[in-house]
Amino acid sequence: MDKETQILEYIKINPFISQQELAEKVDLSRSAVANYIANLTKRGEIKGRAYVLRENKEITCIGGANIDRKAHAKQTVRLHSSNPVTMTETLGGVARNVAENLVQLDNKVSLLTCVGHDKEGNSLLDETKRRNIDIKLTQVLPNQRTGTYTALLDHDGEMIVSLADMDIYDALVPSIIEEKWTHITSSKAIFIDTNIPAETIDYIIKRCANEQLPLYIDPVSSTKTKKLPSSLTGVEVILPNLEEAEELAQMKITSPSDYSVVADKIKARGVKNVVITLGKDGLFYSSQEDSGHLLPYQTEIVDVTGAGDSLTASILSSMMHGYNLKEACQYGLAAAALTVNTEYSVSPFLNMENINALLKENSQ
């Protein structure tokens, strides 16, 4: 069988196969494969770069998946002293939490992360799979510890300090993303957090821009925001908090009037839509057509952990269903309200029925 026929056969088996994968399978250079593809396209054997439609309709989440440990203070926290707490342990990680929230909002979701070959990693994967998240892209690393995130919460549910042991995510190098790209590129949207290495973030942003894949980014922290490249061209939505927004815009926010200026500076880096989360003050959104400040929905705050992840997931899901940024943010705030009203990082009460009920209640 000649090389051209081999290439066609591999494309029939997997229409999303990359040129690099083809090169390895038929023992040619990538440039030689590109020439064969060009000739086949000219002859009409191949009908273009997207060999089939993206029928998968899956959302791929890339980033952190770890064990969350919460110490909930029984009284006002006193620093440099012993504090009585109630300790709980749950599944966590920004990408994993966003993935679970997306599933509860009736989306099909795949998770690309890495865990250690340890008790925590096995438990995390078993539970994540049980919650209907596809984990076939996830890497299990035998000589690494599964990531952990420990938060100290004041008696009113506000976070005092958090501790993150997440060196394992340094293993998510660009070559792993390249290896999995055949699956990733079939997604209808991609979400990443900045727990992954800077070079991997840059690689994903560029490939999503080139292939016109909607990309959503949570910067995670002001420190990890520094991993983002100067060009964010093609990013659909970025969702920083105040400190992260200041880092992205290289500007201090001193009053609410600065929100729009900061958002414009971030959009100047290539982002299409910006959502600045403001905690108890709601959020500020800015698209190419509209901007505004939305207040949160009033609810009893039990635990703020996970509120941002539910907001992100709801905004992503809503935009995938055709809502504009303002409407998506309203859904996001409703999802956040349902989350902070529970002790869970991912609320078991989060679903479209409850979100719509809360929106209807607040529209009257």
| pLDDT value for 72 | 87
- 94 lies in the same domain as 185: yes
- 31 lies in the same domain as 64: no
> Assign residue 312 a region: left if phi > 0, alpha if psi is -120 to 50, beta otherwise?
alpha
| pLDDT value for 18 | 74
Band of the pLDDT at 1, cuts 50, 70, 90?
low
**What number is the average pLDDT over the span 36-53?**
65
**What number is the average pLDDT over the span 208-227?**
95
Q: Which residue, 196, 213, 245, sits at the end of a domain?
A: 196
- 21 lies in the same domain as 146: no
| pLDDT value for 35 | 84
Residue 86's domain is classified under what CATH number?
A: 3.40.1190.20
Closest CA to 163 of 67, 39, 52: 67
More confident residue, 171 or 19: 171
- 76 lies in the same domain as 182: yes
Band of the pLDDT at 52, cuts 50, 70, 90?
very low
Residues 253-272 pLDDT 10s: 999 999 999 999 999 999 99
CB 304 within 8 A of CB 159: yes
| Residue 158 resides in a domain | yes
- 62 lies in the same domain as 90: yes
| pLDDT value for 364 | 58
Which residues fall within 8 angstroms of residue 89, CB to CB, at 6 or more apart? 67, 68, 69, 70
Q: Which tokens in the block code for residue 143?
A: 């000589």
Residues 153-200 pLDDT 10s: 898 878 899 888 889 999 999 999 999 998 898 899 999 999 999 999
- 64 lies in the same domain as 178: yes
| pLDDT value for 53 | 38
Residue 31's domain is classified under what CATH number?
A: 1.10.10
More confident residue, 202 or 143: 202
Cα distances (Å, whole numbers) of residue 64 to 92, 93, 220, 229, 260: 8, 5, 10, 19, 30
- 20 lies in the same domain as 146: no
Residue with tokens 């958002």: 263
**What number is the average pLDDT over the span 280-297?**
96
| Residue 108 resides in a domain | yes
| Residue 106 resides in a domain | yes
Residue with tokens 């105040």: 242
Residues 80-137 pLDDT 10s: 999 999 998 889 899 999 999 999 999 999 999 999 999 999 999 999 999 999 999 9
What domain range is 81 assigned to?
A: 57-196
- 69 lies in the same domain as 34: no
